[in-house]
Amino acid sequence: DAKTTQPPSMDCAEGRAANLPCNHSTISGNEYVYWYRQIHSQGPQYIIHGLKNNETNEMASLIITEDRKSSTLILPHATLRDTAVYYCIVRVLGTNAGKSTFGDGTTLTVKP
């Protein structure tokens, strides 16, 4: 699985958009980009995933660059409850859907 690089921490004002970057320059053609978050030592929570097209769901939007070497998770209107560690991982879909190491992620702090 390709390695990802994320900034260790970010701040965001409540109500503003939070844009969390992820670099995955060694991603291969059949690897997807996944985002999870972990709120204060709870179990991680799936947010969104994509291959090459931008994706949106009720939680967030995922923007993947055309060369697929980086992506950005967007929380359009961050709230205090979005304060968490956000993990970006890349992996191939297949029989082992969970092997990826989550790395250290980005600690997002939403401030009032």
Partner 1 sequence: NAGVMQNPRHLVRRRGQEARLRCSPMKGHSHVYWYRQLPEEGLKFMVYLQKENIIDESGMPKERFSAEFPKEGPSILRIQQVVRGDSAAYFCASSARGTNTGELFFGEGSRLTVL
The residue among 85, 58, 52 whose CA lies nearest residue 71 is 52
Ramachandran category for residue 69: left, alpha or beta (phi over 0 → left; psi -120 to 50 → alpha): alpha
Q: Is 30 in the site for partner 1 (CB under 8 A)?
A: no
Q: Is 21 in the site for partner 1 (CB under 8 A)?
A: no
Provide, rounded to whole angstroms, the least separation between the CB of residue 99 and partner 1.
5
Q: CA-CA distance, 4 to 104, in Å (whole number)?
A: 10
Residue count at the site for partner 1 (CB under 8 A)? 26
Given the rule CB under 8 A, which residues bind partner 1?
32, 34, 36, 38, 41-46, 49, 87, 91, 93-105
